[in-house]
Structure 1
Amino acid sequence: MSKKLIAIASTGGHYVQLSRIMKQANFDSNDILYVRTKVNANDTPSFENESLIEDVSRDTLIRSPIIAFQMLKLILKHKPKWIITTGAMPGLISIVIGRLLLRKTMWVDSIANTKQLSASGRIAKKIAHKTLTQWPDLVGENVQYKGRVI
């Protein structure tokens, strides 16, 4: 049941970027648990090593404990060495929980953020073990550029 990596992102562009990173990284798919946010109440996982969690944003922060509990359960169950996210609030919550549980963490800020890191990215760079941007001009304290996903 143990996974080497939990890869989490909000559904949509964040998840597309995360999927491309995982494909390029050449991990064995059995070593990854993909986690994405639900699109609607009837949404189901698309494949065997995918789990769904509720969504949360700045507008729905009151839901943060729900997502935190869902991620805590997944991390304790799968015991990953790494948690990687391309973002949004559920990814940030996962980074925080990962740090508390002594897991390695990585934040990859979305390619859409061309002028500055996202709000979550600005928080993540203070918490995550590694923070990456997809724009060389955004490199700074605790933020590295290793290329673009798209």
Structure 2
Amino acid sequence: MGKRVLAIASGGGHFIQLMRLQPAWAGHQVSVATVDPSTRTLAGDVPFYTFRDVSRADWWRIPAAALDIARILLAVRPQVIITTGALPGLIAAALARPFGTKSLWVDSIANSEVLSGSGAQAGLVCNQVVTQWPHLASDRVDNWGSVL
């Protein structure tokens, strides 16, 4: 069987975009993590985890969310992390990097003028950063097209 993959995103559009990437991880041992337990059915028949949501607006929640995400990382022990963004995906990539986990950041399609705040920092901890907008591509950020 393929690699252990953790697909992680905050809720709403980030999670919907993440689920549209499902064909990309066919043949791998995938676990999915997000903030909303009611989205379990969208993930399919894979291990599913939830964590407390966090954003820059409620930065004081970072320790609790980081603890939730660390527990998920310990349970899954991913070799690869795929995230469509927001702070939880960045936290997961940062926590897993010292253990050799590779990570792919796909910045949300909603960020059409500049990368998201977390997306701009993703290059510091992620192995690959991808934008869905061709004009945002640079020497550090690739464009592979759109997930929509």
TM-score, scaled relative to structure 1: 0.87
Paired amino acid for 1:66: A
d(CA) in 1 for partners of 2:30, 2:102: 14
Q: Which residue of 1 aligns with 2:63?
A: 65
Match of 1:111 among 106, 109, 112: 109
Q: Deviations over 1:96-141 (max 9, x none)?
A: 1121222001110000111110011000022210000001101113
Matched position secondary structure for 1:87: coil
3-state SS of 1:127 partner: coil
- Contact 1:85/1:91 (CA < 8 Å) preserved in 2? yes
Q: Which runs of 5+ in 2 are unaligned?
A: none
Q: What's the secondary structure of 2:71's corresponding residue?
A: helix
Q: Which amino acid aligns with 2:51?
A: I
Q: After the TM superposition, list the runs of 4 or more consecutive aligned residues in structure 1 that deviate by more than 6 angstroms.
A: none
Q: Are the structure 2 counterparts of residues 104 and 62 from structure 1 closer, same or farther at C-alpha, using a change threshold of 3 Å?
A: same
How far does residue 27 in structure 1 lie from its aligned partner after superposition? 1.3
Task: Tell me whether 1:27 sits opposite 2:26 in the alignment.
Answer: yes
Tell me which amino acid in the other structure corresponds to 1:113. Answer: N
Alignment equivalent of 2:40, drawn from 36, 46, 54: 46
Summarize the alignment of residues 1-150 of structure 1 with structure 2, pairs less than 5 Å apart. 4-22=4-22, 24-28=23-27, 31-38=29-36, 43=37, 46-47=40-41, 49-150=47-148
- What CA distance in whole angstroms lies between the structure 2 residues aligned with 1:9 and 1:99? 17
- Give the fraction of aligned pairs with identical amino acids, expressed as a percent: 37
Q: Distance in 2 between matches of 1:147 and 1:96?
A: 25
SS of alignment partner, residue 92 of structure 1: helix
Which amino acid in structure 1 is aligned with residue 123 of structure 2?
A: K
Q: Does the aligned pair in 2 maintain the 1:9–1:90 contact within 8 Å?
A: yes
Question: What value does the CA root-mean-square deviation take over the aligned residues?
Answer: 1.7
Distance between the aligned counterparts of 1:74 and 1:102, measured in 2? 16
Q: TM-score, normalised by structure 2?
A: 0.88
1:45 to partner: Cα distance: 6.4
